[in-house]
Structure 1
Amino acid sequence: MRSLDDMALFVEVAKARSFRGAAEILGIPNSTLSRRISRLENAIGLRLLHRTTRKIELTEAGEIYYERCKRIVQEARLAHEQLGQMLAQPTGLLRVTLPVDFGQIFLAPLIADFARRYPGITFDFDLSPRRVDLVGEPVDVAIRMGESPDSNLISRLLFRLPRMLYAAPAYLEHAGEPSHPDQLKQHQCLRLHTSEADTWKLHRGVDTIDAKVGGRFMMNNVGMIQRLCTLGMGVAVLAERVAAADVANGALQRILPDWQATAIAINAITETRLLPAKTQRFVDFLREQWR
């Protein structure tokens, strides 16, 4: 396929019937333009222009080539204009997969703001605990919690979510409040099915401790952990923003206030680095809002 750039240059020369006139319009040296057209003719294998000292004329082949190229160049310019409009105001269906609780608690308000900002985008959200196959399924981006495993997928860190320890006042009245992480093994701890199920890594400044934990409840849903925690069933590690409302109304209180759990990385996962405008704007928007 011949260079579209050279084709566009030829169209300008053919319209101006002059290298000098076309060069002025294009803002490039006359010698460069002449060399590019000669290269195009050599690549095609046909003379496109009759050159004289005063002006140029199209050959028969040049007339045919000009009529075809003119439409192609016009279509290409229109396509670039439309793509520019898409970048300014992206459109299309955005398919996102994300964890249930995270989507309901964190994303819902942000999605509303994003949707108002970009009215041309429609949405298809998959809120489920399963790991969607971004290669085999029609998904634009996955929002995932925790460090992303090494893979061929592209991971973009959105932010890190601070996590603290909480319990209901009724539970603490019955079981007592721990004063050190080592005492957590004597408490009912509400645990997720993760690598932290039996050990909670807690931090206090530069100090780190692996606190052994146990309890009657193990589950795979943060919302359920939070609910059981408010009902006085034990101690939970919760994101600070997740627990904020329950702390404000007195349903939960923070314990071991000098300590906090390892912050969770929130990542946007895509199959490729080259993203359509709708996806790139969504990822940039989340990163901007959470910064």
Structure 2
Amino acid sequence: MDLNQAAVFVKVVQAGSFSAAARLLGLPTSTVSHRVMTLEKRLGVTLLQRTTRRLHLTEAGELYFAHAATGLGHMLDAEAAVTEALGEPSGRLRATAPADLGDHLLAGIMARMRREHPKVQVEMLLTDRYVDLVAEGVDVAIRTGHLKDSSLIARQVGIARWEPVASPDYLASAPPLDSPQSLRHHCCLQFTPLGRDAWTLTDPHGSVVVPLPGQVMVNDIRVVRALAIAGEGVALLPLYLCREECATGRLVQVLPAWHAKADPIHLIHPRQRFMPPKLRAFVDLAAKELRSGLRTD
């Protein structure tokens, strides 16, 4: 019995393709395909039906995968238990986060990891797409918004609250801004994922929808922030992204009783019996950094 063949087969099924499994395993696609074919030949059954678009498990393949994945999981748990017993975080850790989470937040996490756990090499993938942690070999993710996958372990680390802000220079020459309805008389710098036609603002008494003329619309929140700092208008920004500017007076929170959406932010990772030291170190450290950076007081 060749356990490498079984392990490669499990990874192919989890990744959804030979090429994806090859990337995760660091092997040529031809090697991955050959090992699965050799396994099928040894067992005398077809485990995978291959089409041009995707793979399908046969009945025998489903049976083999159920047992092989369980066995491989126990082996990985055994290795993780030994590694955890050794204690010192080390090795490569792959993390992912939204591209617009904030340079200072992510840089703070990376810098602190480098100082406190120098034997851990952190690879940070910034992307706005949904990352399948298991299939893509990612250890941990920072995610905003409400979670969909309940099979993952999640730790909430804060709330991303979006509020209207503007520069003092803009406000000095702009019309009065004393209610959400006043925004219709202002140049509103619209981050298109928040809406092209209107902003929804909320206070302790309820919500209002403010129609907007759509003079400036951008799909990159960092560009919206730069425009607001330059005095081009009023923007809805997450406070973590403009905390420094608000503290130094380059931006001012307008309509302070009102805010737009408030997104929970979580650290998530796949469920596993033994958490590797490098993952535990990152999660604990990142949780502290994010809670500090996301505070609203």
Verify same fold: TM over 0.5: yes
- Is 1:131 paired with 2:153? no
Report what 2:40 is aligned to.
none
The residue aligned with 2:31 is none
What TM-score do the two structures reach when normalised by structure 1?
A: 0.63
In 1, Cα distance between equivalents of 2:169 and 2:79: 67
Equivalent residue number for residue 46 of structure 1: none
**Aligned-partner SS, 1:148:** coil
Q: Does 1:256 align with 2:255?
A: yes
Contact 2:96 2:127 in 1 (8 A): yes
Q: In the TM superposition, what is the alpha-carbon distance from 1:167 to its structure 2 partner?
A: 0.9
Contact 1:168–1:253 (8 Å) recurs in 2: yes
Deviation at 1:93, TM superposition (A): 0.6
1-structure distance, mates of 2:127, 2:80: 38
Give the direction of change, closer, same or farther, for the CA distance of 1:196–1:283 in structure 2 (3 Å limit).
farther
- Contact residue 108 and residue 289 of structure 2 kept, 8 A: no
Tell me, in whole angstroms, the C-alpha distance in 1 between the residues paired with 2:85 and 2:217.
Answer: 51
- Residue in 1 aligned with 2:84? 83
Deviation at 1:81, TM superposition (A): 5.9
Indicate the percent of aligned positions where both proteins have the same amino acid. Answer: 33
Q: How does 1:145-224 map to 2 (within 5 A)?
A: 145-150=144-149, 152-224=151-223
Rounded Cα–Cα distance in structure 1 between residues aligned with 2:107 and 2:182: 37
Q: Are 2:105 and 2:289, in contact at CA under 8 Å, matched by a contact in 1?
A: no
Greater C-alpha radius of gyration: 1
1:11-62 deviations in whole A, cap 9, x for unaligned?
Answer: xxxxxxxxxxxxxxxxxxxxxxxxxxxxxxxxxxxxxxxxxxxxxxxxxxxx
CA distance in 2, matches of 1:174, 1:149: 45
Q: How many residues align?
A: 213
Deviation at 1:180, TM superposition (A): 0.5
Q: SS where residue 147 of structure 2 aligns?
A: coil
Distance 1:125 1:289, change over 3 A: closer
Counterpart-to-counterpart distance in 1, 2:80 and 2:208: 58
- After the TM superposition, which of the residue ranges 258-267 and 150-159 deviates more from structure 2? 150-159
Residue segments in structure 2 that go unaligned for 5+ positions in a row: 1-77, 292-297
RMSD, matched Cα: 2.8
Structure 1 residues without counterparts, runs of 5 or longer: 1-76
Aligned to 2:58: none
**CA shift digits 1:137-195 (9 cap, x unpaired):** 12112212222235654443221123321112232234323211122233222222325
- Which amino acid in 2 is paired with 1:84? A
Is 1:277 matched up with 2:261?
A: no
Given the two structures, how large is their TM-score scaled by the length of structure 2?
0.62
1:244 alignment partner in structure 2: 243
Q: Name the SS for the 1:106 alignment partner.
A: helix
